[in-house]
Amino acid sequence: MAKGFNSRGMGGRGGMGPMGGGMNANMMKQVQKMQQDMLRMQEELEAKTYTAAAGGGAVSATVTGKRVLDSLIIDPDAVDPEDVEMLQDMIVAAVNEALRAAESDSASTMQGLAGGLNLPF
């Protein structure tokens, strides 16, 4: 038999280490609760919409929490056949800002959820 086999090794506590079974059961409950909370939060985030405007409101884009463009509104006054590039830039800016808002909301929501756990890793 190897030296120390039963003192802290795989004997005695079934390999759970010095924390014992109670701590692991508590951690498993925390992880399961976090998984349930994350699924609920993900569903809530996916149901939200995020809107951003560009060009002083000339272009407005709305994306879903699933990062899908839901609507794009263009003020007719923003349509200038002589300056199509400006309109394209406003569209890109509005869509990107709406996507950033969705991502930021998702990140802060998930960080708040995970921040409440006292996991050792």
Q: Model's pTM, two decimal places? A: 0.67
**pLDDT value at residue 24:** 86
Predicted pLDDT at 78: 93
Q: Which amino acid appears at position 2 of this protein? A: A
Q: How many domains does the chain have?
A: 1
pLDDT at 53: 98
If you search the block for the tokens 């996916």, which residue do you land on?
Answer: 46
* 6 lies in some domain: no
Question: What is the layout of strands, in order, in the sheet containing 59-64?
Answer: 49-54, 59-64, 69-74
Domain containing 110: what range? 31-115
Residue 58 resides in a domain: yes
How confident is the model at residue 26, as a pLDDT? Answer: 87
10-residue block means of pLDDT along the chain (121 residues)? 50 49 78 87 92 97 96 96 96 98 89 63 48
Written as one letter, the residue type at 92 is V
CATH number of the domain that residue 76 is part of = 3.30.1310.10
